[in-house]
Chain A
């Protein structure tokens, strides 16, 4: 449609005066919206009351959304790279908001399958496309600080629940009074319309950098001194054939599984560890963990720009294993001690999400980092199933064996220690990607035919490309690759 041509990649290139610091708020607008999914539990009881079902059919709504998140991120990444961030964000906005509207129709007419279709399928597609849509663009704008840039955006996903939870509760109360179920339909309609408008702010604000753009003072040659940072590029398909991708998959899977091990049972856990803790205090503990989740995403990811990605993940995984062990053996000694340990663990959980795009950029370059990121997020989907399953099954088995209080959690927490040790080992084994996986320089321009059209507009240019982001096809790129190979 001609009216939507402005969403095309070719029309998304930044013009004169565009400031790269406009991109993080554009990304935040999307992530703060889709982060609402972490606050879905607010609707659980009202939905149970509305449909007269048990908890499981309602929990399936969330599960469908998370599965579709993983699938759409995995399969939509290449489409997103080809069509640009604005089109991807627009698709995400349409799907995520229409998910609420279709879901509201299902709630209004008493058809649960419509809620599955709406919030679950449509909303899930919006989650996946929205999650990956700004990451590649941020890395292109901030090659000097990819950890900070992606941390800012992915912080939004954690922050989205902080907004959605109190907002949803307030809307349910305003429209339903004491009958929260009665407030579901207007709440979902308002959320659908509101999130669409907010995400469209991101669509209108985001831009791609010109192919030869780089930040002032940024010298890719100097950055390459870190052995784990490449100036070459690997395609999404090629990445799947590297051991590095699958090692990083294990890293993300173990880190997320361990974090979910705390998050999933935070409220009952703190009450079991400290019998004097009230449900209100436990809710405060959960709130504090949410702050830790969000803070970890931006703080640890930014720190990785200085520490390096591999050492940062050593902290997440190795340090996390130590913290889990301390929770297991001494967590019940004092509430402040338990709170601090849990806060750090959850900050590592958030940091693991936010740092991984920069890790991917270091290993695979920027060419299809968004698509590779999407495929890596299948680890999140797997962890979303494995984490709660491990924790629930093991904890319940310990209770059936007669163990109570902290003892009931010991086995599941020790399993998390073991998982993090596996993740630590996987991270330790990551090495720079072999040059045989790098794309040929002439391959990359063909992937961006619209940018080929853009180059015709600059026919006055000489054939010598500018040094930039290790731009594929450039002389700089080939020299860099040879230099990298000679260092190994």
Chain B
């Protein structure tokens, strides 16, 4: 059973609240509001950063895989 406060349910991307936590500790300040209440711009920029990060590594990896598959095709074409 989760020990997080239901009122502060965090996404898997955010630090969890501490049971019995009191005071203005850094952890509670790091809690995001539920996704439904999060500013749309914030969610979009976070998604955009994620897409960009994966694109940065996927493009060269895709190039390498494509080149290798072209070479590997010679195994079947002789």
Q: Is the CB of B12 within 8 A of A162?
A: no
A283-B74, A284-B71, A287-B71 known; A461-B27 Cβ under 8 A: yes
- Please name all residues of chain B whose beta carbon is closer than 8 Å to the beta carbon of A167 when the two chains form the complex: 63-64
- A162-B64, A461-B27, A465-B18 known; A281 vs B72 contact (CB < 8 Å): no
B15 and A278 form a contact (CB under 8 A): no
Q: Decide: A166 near B67, CB < 8 A? Known: A210-B15, A212-B15.
A: yes
Query: Are A216 and B18 interface neighbours, CB within 8 A?
Result: no
Query: What 17 new A-B contacts, CB under 8 Å, besides A167-B63, A464-B19?
Result: A15-B30, A22-B53, A28-B57, A32-B57, A163-B61, A165-B67, A165-B68, A166-B64, A166-B68, A212-B15, A218-B12, A285-B72, A288-B75, A460-B21, A461-B21, A461-B23, A465-B18
Given A278-B78, A287-B69; A466-B16 close (CB under 8 Å): yes
Show 17 A/B contacts (Cβ-Cβ < 8 Å), sorted by A: A19-B49, A25-B57, A28-B61, A29-B57, A162-B65, A165-B64, A201-B56, A216-B10, A281-B78, A284-B72, A284-B74, A284-B75, A290-B68, A458-B25, A466-B3, A466-B17, A468-B16
Query: How far is the CB of A413 from the nearest CB of chain B, in Å?
Result: 21
Assess the B50–A339 pair: CB atoms within 8 A.
Answer: no
- B1, B12, B21, B25: which has the most chain A beta carbons within 10 Å? B12
Contact of B73 among A163, A284, A457 (CB under 8 A): A284
> Per-residue CB proximity of B8-35 to A under 8 Å, as 1/0?
0011111111111111111100101000
B54 → chain A closest CB, angstroms: 5
Majority-rule SS of A interface residues: helix
Q: Nearest Cβ in chain A — how far from B9, in angstroms?
A: 8
In the complex, how many angstroms separate the beta carbon of A9 from the nearest chain B beta carbon? Answer: 16
Asked if A280 CB lies within 8 Å of chain B CBs, one says yes
Chain A residues near B24 (CB-CB < 8 A) = 460
Among candidates A29, A215, A285, residue contacting B75 with C-beta atoms closer than 8 Å: A285
Q: Is A10 in the interface zone, CB < 8 Å from B? A: no
Min Cβ gap A218→B in Å is 8
Interface centre among B16, B42, B78, by most A CB within 10 Å? B16
A310 part of interface (Cβ distance < 8 Å): no
Q: Answer yes or no: B6 CB below 8 A from chain A CBs.
A: no
Contact A29 B56, CB 8 Å, known A16-B14, A19-B50: yes
Are A216 and B69 in contact, with the CB atoms below 8 A?
Answer: no
* A210 in contact with B27 (CB, 8 Å): yes
Tell me whether B40 is interfacial, beta carbon within 8 Å.
no
Query: What string of 1s and 0s marks CB contacts (under 8 Å) between A1-44 and chain B?
Result: 00000000000001111111110011011001000000000000
Asked if A205 is at the interface of the complex by the 8 Å CB criterion, the answer is yes
CB of A214 closer than 8 Å to a CB of B: yes
Return B61 CB to nearest CB of chain A, in Å: 5
Q: Give the distance in Å from the alpha carbon of A143 to the alpha carbon of B78 in the complex.
A: 46
Find chain B residues with CB under 8 A from A14 CB: 15
A32→B25 CA distance, assembly (Å): 39
What 0/1 pattern do residues 203 to 247 of A give for CB contact below 8 A with B? 001000110111111110000000000000000000000000000
Q: Specify which chain A residues have a CB less than 8 angstroms from the CB of B13 in the assembled complex.
A: 17-20
B3, B14, B50, B54: most-surrounded residue (chain A CB, <10 A): B14
Q: Residue A291 contacts which of B1, B2, B27, B65 (CB distance < 8 angstroms)? A: B65
Question: Does B16 lie within 8 Å of A213, measured CB to CB?
Answer: yes
Smallest distance from the beta carbon of A172 to chain B beta carbons, Å?
A: 15
Cα of A285 to Cα of B73 in the assembled complex, Å: 9
What residue in chain A is nearest B47 (Cβ atoms)?
A: A19
From B71, which residue of chain A is reached at the shortest CB distance?
Answer: A287
Please, how many angstroms separate the alpha-carbon atoms of A459 and B69 in the complex?
A: 56
Does A462 have its Cβ within 8 Å of any Cβ on chain B? yes
Please tell me if A467 contacts chain B, counting CB pairs below 8 Å: yes
Mark B33-47 against chain A: 1 for CB-CB distance below 8 A, else 0.
Answer: 000000000100010
Q: Which residues of A contact B17 (CB under 8 A)?
A: 466
B1, B32, B74: the one contacting A17 at CB < 8 Å is B32
Picked from A164, A213, A291, A467, the residue with its CB within 8 Å of the CB of B72 is A291
Q: Are A163 and B63 in contact (CB under 8 A)?
A: yes
Shortest CB distance A151–B (Å): 14
Pair B46/A19 contact, Cβ less than 8 Å: yes
* Contact of A16 with B26 in the complex, beta carbons under 8 Å: no
**A464, B20: Cβ atoms under 8 Å?**
yes
Instruction: State whether A162 and B68 are in contact (beta carbons under 8 Å apart), knowing that A29-B56, A213-B16 are contacts in the complex.
Output: yes
A212 touches B56 (CB 8 A): no
Min distance, Cβ B23 to any Cβ of chain A, angstroms: 3
How far apart are the CA atoms of A292 and B13 in the complex, in Å? 32
Does A159 have its Cβ within 8 Å of any Cβ on chain B? yes
